[in-house]
């Protein structure tokens, strides 16, 4: 087996996401690289859910257009996904809830024989998948022991009977490679924030970052970490301001609609120089849009959100390893440069599941910012060459630590004087240049594919994995700016040097990265755009590239 895709589908509430994750663990345990995509409607209850797990013997991070095995927990899974099947697709279905061509598994009879609850029907189907793909049952046992130790005996019993109920149709050979930890993008972001010294996380649940709140709440007892779920997004960012002012490294999580409510306070972080980090998960808009589907249409909103002019850090990691790395760096840079920061991700990255590779946890500088001696007059906004002022956190005996959202002087006292306005504006802008120098040595632009190729794919965010795979297949070059503010002009210009044709690949309707490049006199010759809420499939991107070649 070099490449195999499995679709697992059923009714919402049937544990489809968990079943798909178990499929991923089976292939991961066999030594394959895996990627899992989760698709579900915006319903409180009901509707059709499905996952696609792809396994390959080379690193991957995107789906193919067709699947090789369908694991159908109900009839809808067969009826709704015929367009994803090819003439050799094998359908394995729960014969008590579906019918058709393929291999039926008598799930209800097996559960009755083992006196097992209905929830264990998924274990039976996972066993059947292993039997049909030639995965040894010992691997099923290893995965179940790690992933579902509760009720292990009965789960293994029904899985074994599912395993024996089907004929083998594929042969998944073991590759002898140690499995990597499988994580969602949200979990990788959480680990990166913790590596960066996260003290507090504040969020109101909003797809696609809701699971980051759940993950950090679940590990809070293992770290000196405070996790708070306030009543709304305005409370979220204001609470983050208070925590950061008090010296706690704080991040918040939201999506576009929630960030709309945060923008006034986000610009307050720009003027009062309180470091606040926002994990901003994009989905299809405008407004509510498609709240459980993906998109890349909020880039320019993030670059310009808030009134007035102030420096900000915007990073857009492309896979979960980058998500871990740059979440740590974003938190560290926000504090060292005293600026607000945005980790710009999307539904595909947040909820997709892939292996976390080595090198995800970066070395971070020791210090934060200049220290001020306590016990005397304190100028929170003291003028410095770098724009970064000494920072104290209350309580400090003998010193008043003032922050101010108005125009203020160096001590934080409100003023309306024009000369002070100019002085403090210049100070803030110098922080932007300091931030540019700091990010400039962190590889803000990533290159991949064939050096010297005449054609270059220009991508950002979660389009990285599919562009990386397609660039390798077509023998072309790829470039990804990870840092989008401050814009890494010099590094991006160098990465594109020598190319004859630059094609931007984006999941929005206007080509927002292309527009950003044009503002900086970097020419992009063509764009391949997708904006239906679904990520690019590998063959789809290849076909679309041929149209603009």
Q: Is the preceding peptide bond at 425 cis, omega within 30 degrees of 0?
A: no
Q: Which CATH number is 457's domain given?
A: 3.40.50.920
* Residues 34, 68 within the same domain: yes
Is the pLDDT at 374 greater than 70? The verdict is no
pLDDT in tens, 497-530: 999 999 999 999 999 999 999 999 999 999 999 9
Dihedral class, residue 491 (left if φ above 0, else alpha if ψ from -120 to 50, else beta): alpha
**174: in domain:** no
The SS3 call for residue 321 is: helix
Same-domain pairing of 290 and 356: yes
Domain boundary at 117, 138, 164, which?
Answer: 164
Residues 420 and 500 both lie in one domain: no
- pLDDT beyond 80 at 178: yes
pLDDT, tens digit (0-9, with 9 covering 90-100), for 376-389: 789 999 999 999 99
Q: Residue 338 belongs to a domain with what CATH number?
A: 3.40.50.970
Please state whether the peptide bond connecting residue 448 to the residue before it is cis, i.e. omega within 30 degrees of 0.
Answer: no
The arithmetic mean of pLDDT across residues 212-227, rounded, is 97
Is 411 in the same domain as 456? no
**In this structure, how many other beta carbons lie within 10 angstroms of the beta carbon of residue 359?**
9
- 294 in the same domain as 377: yes
* Residue 314: predicted pLDDT: 98
Whether 329 and 434 map to the same domain: the answer is yes
Task: Render pLDDT for 34-77 as a digit per residue (tens, 0 to 9).
Answer: 999 999 999 877 899 999 999 999 999 999 999 999 999 999 99
Tokens for 204, please give them.
């109101």
Q: Are 70 and 28 in contact (CB under 8 A)?
A: no
Question: 317 and 462 in one domain?
Answer: no
**Tens of pLDDT, residues 385-428:** 999 999 999 998 888 899 999 999 999 999 999 999 999 999 99
Domain housing 106? 3-164
Residues 300-326: pLDDT tens digits? Answer: 999 999 999 999 999 999 999 999 999
Based on the domain organization, do 432 and 480 belong to the same domain?
no
Cβ(190)–Cβ(215) below 8 Å? yes
Residue 57 and residue 267: Cα distance in Å, rounded?
47
Q: What is the mean pLDDT of the chain?
A: 96
- Judge whether 176 lies within some domain: no
Do residues 260 and 285 lie in contact, with contact meaning Cβ atoms separated by under 8 Å? no
What's the CATH number where 156 sits? 3.40.920.10
Distance separating alpha carbons of residues 298 and 176, to the nearest angstrom: 42
Percent of residues, the chain, with pLDDT higher than 70? 98
pLDDT tens, 419-461?
999 999 999 999 999 999 999 999 999 999 999 999 999 999 9
Helices marked H in 230-319: 233-245, 256-272, 299-304
Rounded average pLDDT over 270-290: 97
The count of domains in the chain is 3
Residues 6 or more apart whose Cβ sits within 8 Å of residue 266: 237, 259, 276, 278, 305, 306, 340
Q: Do 129 and 22 fall into the same domain?
A: yes
């Amino acid at each position: 087996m070099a490449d195999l895709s499995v679709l697992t589908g059923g009714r919402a509430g049937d544990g489809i996401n968990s079943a798909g994750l178990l499929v991923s663990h089976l292939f991961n345990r066999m030594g394959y690289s895996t990627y899992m995509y989760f698709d579900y409607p915006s319903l409180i209850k009901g509707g059709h859910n499905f996952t696609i797990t792809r396994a390959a013997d080379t690193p991957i991070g995107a789906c193919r257009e067709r699947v090789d095995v369908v694991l159908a927990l109900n009839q809808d899974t067969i009826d709704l996904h015929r367009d994803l099947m090819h003439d050799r697709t094998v359908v394995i279905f729960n014969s008590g809830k579906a019918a058709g061509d393929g291999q039926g598994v008598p799930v209800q009879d097996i559960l009755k024989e083992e006196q097992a609850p209905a929830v264990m029907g998924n274990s039976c189907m996972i066993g059947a998948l292993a039997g049909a793909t030639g995965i040894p049952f010992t691997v099923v046992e290893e995965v179940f022991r790690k992933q579902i130790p509760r009720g292990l005996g009965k789960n293994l019993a029904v899985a074994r009977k599912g395993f024996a109920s089907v004929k083998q149709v594929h042969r998944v050979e073991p590759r002898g490679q140690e499995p990597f930890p499988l994580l969602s993008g949200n979990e990788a972001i959480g680990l990166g924030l913790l590596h960066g010294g996260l003290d507090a996380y504040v969020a109101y649940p909003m797809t696609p970052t809701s699971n980051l709140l759940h993950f950090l709440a679940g590990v809070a007892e293992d770290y000196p970490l405070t996790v708070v779920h306030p009543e709304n997004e305005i409370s979220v960012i204001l609470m983050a301001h208070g925590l950061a002012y008090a010296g706690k490294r704080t991040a918040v999580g939201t999506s576009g609609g929630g960030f709309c409510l945060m923008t006034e306070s986000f610009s307050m972080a720009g003027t009062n120089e309180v470091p606040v980090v926002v994990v901003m998960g994009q989905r299809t808009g405008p407004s509510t849009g498609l709240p459980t589907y993906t998109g890349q249409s909020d880039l320019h909103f993030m670059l310009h959100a808030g009134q007035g002019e102030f420096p900000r850090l915007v990073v857009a990691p492309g896979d979960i390893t980058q998500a871990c790395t740059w979440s740590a760096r974003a938190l560290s840079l926000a504090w060292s440069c005293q600026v607000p920061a945005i980790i710009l991700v999307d539904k595909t990255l947040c909820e997709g599941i892939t292996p976390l590779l080595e090198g995800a946890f970066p070395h971070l500088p020791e210090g934060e910012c200049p220290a001020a001696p306590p016990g005397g007059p304190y100028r929170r906004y003291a003028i410095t060459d770098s724009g970064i002022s000494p920072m104290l956190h209350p309580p400090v005996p003998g010193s008043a630590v003032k922050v101010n959202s108005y125009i203020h002087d160096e001590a934080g006292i409100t003023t309306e004087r024009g000369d002070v306005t100019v002085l403090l504006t210049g100070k803030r802008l110098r922080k932007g240049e300091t931030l540019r120098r700091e990010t400039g040595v962190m590889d803000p632009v990533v290159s991949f594919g064939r050096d010297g190729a005449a054609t270059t794919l220009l991508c950002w965010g979660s389009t990285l994995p599919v562009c990386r795979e397609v660039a390798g297949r077509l023998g072309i070059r790829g470039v990804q700016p990870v840092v989008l503010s401050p814009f890494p002009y010099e590094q991006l210009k160098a990465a594109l040097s020598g190319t004859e044709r630059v094609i931007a690949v984006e999941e929005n309707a206007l080509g927002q990265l292309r527009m950003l490049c044009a503002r900086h006199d970097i020419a992009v010759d063509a764009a391949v755009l997708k904006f239906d809420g679904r990520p690019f499939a590998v063959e789809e991107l290849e076909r679309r590239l041929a149209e603009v070649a």
